Amino acid sequence: MTTIEGKVAVVTGAGRGIGRAIAVELGGMGAKVVLAARSVPELEETARLIGGNASVIPTDVRNREDVHKLLEEAASALGPIDIVVNAAGIGIFRQVTEFSDADYDAILDTNLRSIFLVSRFVLRSMISRQTGHIINIASIAGKVGSATRAVYCASKFGVVGFTESLAEEVRQHGIRVSLICPGSTDTGFSSDPHREGKSRSRMLSPADIAHAVRMIVTQEPNSFISEVILRPTMKP
């Protein structure tokens, strides 16, 4: 099994939930993990869980300058970036007629545009080195639409399409681009009406998604896992 000991990994949305679990998993595997999110206290708590392999760089992934600063600082301090996990995401759930322009922009900029910004930046180095791994966290909501989720689903459908296309674009350079689509996961999206009445104990845990990331980054060089769809064993 391929090791990632000493590799440089950047995880967005690393302050909590799925992003935190992934960052802790990668740190436990020996990677040098760069933690990115807006909340410094949350990032520091993730860093405490990881230990000495973690670096904190507060970042608003909706902002291009912030994204560039994150990736430049990470590469300058630790070396070329080997792994990127785009886990930053937000959810706002309501009828389309009740959506504001600001809410629309916040979801699309966080869930989709940030992945474009990060990928475009890191690919320059990855292509020149003929290696690298980008993992994008989407959702089952990127496969199936549902009421009050139109904008959220649009962002996640976009992540699916972007990831599948990018994977084809860069695979000849030895770069592996992978997609993870989790089902109901016990995270902070408490405002999602689709979670009402569901049993949290039956949901996926963030650690389940982190385990999928472990599987992806330890693939042998001549293959890559292009997509993982995770569902709870029993419906919540």
- Cα 110 → chain centroid: 11
Task: Quote the pLDDT of residue 44.
Answer: 98
Q: Single out the catalytic residue among 11, 14, 35, 152.
A: 152
Task: Quote the pLDDT of residue 197.
Answer: 60
Q: Which residues in the chain come in under a pLDDT of 70?
A: 1, 188-197
Rounded to the nearest 10°, the torsion over CA 48, 30, 206, 102 is 70
Task: Quote the pLDDT of residue 188.
Answer: 62
Does the active-site annotation cover 104? no
CA–CA distance, 159 with 168 (Å, rounded to integer): 14
Task: Quote the pLDDT of residue 202.
Answer: 87
Pairing of strands 132-137, 32-36: unpaired
Which residues 6+ apart lie within 8 Å of 77 measured at CB? 55
Pick the CATH number of 8-230 from 3.40.50.720, 3.20.20.140, 3.10.20.30, 3.40.1080.10: 3.40.50.720
Task: Quote the pLDDT of residue 194.
Answer: 63
| Global pTM exceeds 0.85 | yes
Task: Quote the pLDDT of residue 53.
Answer: 93
